[in-house]
Amino acid sequence: MKKVPGIVNKSVIKVLGLIGIIGGISCIPNIAWAIDWSAVEGRDVPVFHPGQASWEWALTQKDHSGAKKFKKDKNCMDCHEEEEPDIGELIASGEKVEPSPIEGNVGSVSINVKFARDESNLHVRLEWTAPPATAGEKMDPDYESKITIMLGEPNVKAAVKAGCWGTCHDDANTMPSASDDQDLKKYLGRSRTKLSRKGGGTNYKSDDELSALLADGYFLEYWQARLNQGSAASAMDGYILKERQENDDVITTAEAEFKDGTWSVVLSRPLQPGKPNHKDIVPGKVYHIGFALHDSHKAKRFHKVSFEYTLMLDEGEADFVAARQ
Ligand code: HEC
């Protein structure tokens, strides 16, 4: 069996736990590392530089020849599976939908992803080789890398069909129709009363309508690990409807290791947090997920993203099944 770096076996944890109890200090490693990840089948997820290709861009036939079929019955992945590295290279080079290419920015990165669960938590392990650092200004001086997962339920059709693109609008900050007098983060189209080729602007639905959508589970949730070599990872989470909102009461935890140029990160989250704006993750239901990586101190839209994937708990037909180990 392949030995995965950074994984401690269960007996080591028991010993450490005992030392912790005897010593009166907490040195029990995070439970995420107790999963036998070598027994979980991984899947390689390519993430690629999307430039300014927004939801509205993808839906406009003269900009994107997949638009009509996407609106009819095809999802992004139906047409683009395995094309991600080529699309990323084309866009990162500045040849298409990227007016500010970053010198040395590789077009794509392959992330090996594994999901698992224990009694009460969902865990996801992500492993990737860090691409070469890009020179120039550090857009995010605080974190060398950030890895993020977005998750939605079947009711958010845009995320079912297009993953992260469901939130990526043409008028969001740093996108083509952004304007200096508005600060628009990611949002879902249904939070607006109308959308145009430029996005939904500030045509917000009423607070009552937005609250009703949230209560219905009409939002996407995201979890993020923020990474620096040599420091403990920090975790944050949030949700997206009217805008991307960080939670004050973060329930996600992150563990990370950087070794021989490779990051391995485990994000964990309670399956049933029982809180507003947090989803209960239950068996028998399909969840729709997407992945994003900000490498080399990049920020905002300068991330690499995946197309759409599915996740189920315990068993079922999905790209990922989070089973007990
Ligand atoms: C019916 C097939 C089809 C679907 C569905 C589709 N695309 Fe495309 N896409 C294409 C084709 C063909 C091109 C190449 C040229 C173009 O832009 O017209 C393309 C090009 C692109 C490009 C630019 C890179 C390039 O090679 O030109 C991006 C980015 C892209 N698509 C993203 C998406 C996203 C995001 C979705 C889902 C919202 C999507 N596509 C859905 C067919 C499709």
Residue among 61, 79, 91 to mutate when testing ligand 1 (max atoms within 8 A of CB): 79
pLDDT at 28 over 70: no
- Quote the ligand 1 centre to 84 CA distance (angstroms): 10
Q: What confidence tier does 30 reach under pLDDT thresholds 50, 70, 90?
A: low
Span of 10-14, 22-26, 45-49 with lowest mean pLDDT: 22-26
Cβ atoms of 87 and 79 closer than 8 Å: no
Contacts with 316 (C-beta within 8 Å, 6 or more apart), sequence order: 283, 284, 286
Cβ atoms of 254 and 231 closer than 8 Å: no
Closest by CA position to 100, among listed 178, 199, 184: 178
Taking CA atoms only, the protein residue closest to ligand 1 atom 7 is 66
Mean pLDDT along residues 258-279: 96
- Quote the ligand 1 centre to 145 CA distance (angstroms): 27
Q: What is the pLDDT of residues 168-182, one digit of tens each?
A: 999 999 999 999 999
pLDDT at 187 over 90: yes
Closest by CA position to 136, among listed 100, 107, 91: 100
Domains of the chain as residue ranges with CATH: 1-34 (no CATH), 42-324 (2.60.40.1190)
pLDDT at 286: 98
Please state, for a pLDDT cut of 70, what percent of the chain lies above it.
90
- Quote the ligand 1 centre to 58 CA distance (angstroms): 7
Residue among 52, 56, 80, 291 to mutate when testing ligand 1 (max atoms within 8 A of CB): 80
Taking CA atoms only, the protein residue closest to ligand 1 atom 14 is 65
pLDDT at 279 over 70: yes
User: Which token pair is 285?
Assistant: 């239901």
Mean pLDDT along residues 11-16: 45
pLDDT at 251 over 90: yes
Residues with CB under 6 A from ligand 1: 50, 53, 58, 64-66, 69-70, 74, 76, 78-80, 87, 90, 96, 162, 165
Average pLDDT of every residue of the chain: 92
Does the pTM of the predicted model rise above 0.75?
A: yes
- Quote the ligand 1 centre to 302 CA distance (angstroms): 19
Mean pLDDT along residues 255-262: 97
Mean pLDDT along residues 228-254: 97
Cβ atoms of 164 and 292 closer than 8 Å: yes
Half-sphere exposure of 202 (CA within 13 A, CB side): 6
pLDDT at 20: 40
Taking CA atoms only, the protein residue closest to ligand 1 atom 30 is 58
Q: What is the pLDDT of residues 36-69, one digit of tens each?
A: 999 999 999 999 999 999 999 999 999 999 999 9
pLDDT at 18: 44
Half-sphere exposure of 155 (CA within 13 A, CB side): 11
pLDDT at 34: 77
Measured between alpha carbons, how far is 280 from 278 in angstroms, rounded to an integer?
Answer: 7
Q: What is the pLDDT of residues 113-127, one digit of tens each?
A: 999 999 999 999 999
- Quote the ligand 1 centre to 240 CA distance (angstroms): 24
Rg of the Cα atoms in the chain: 20
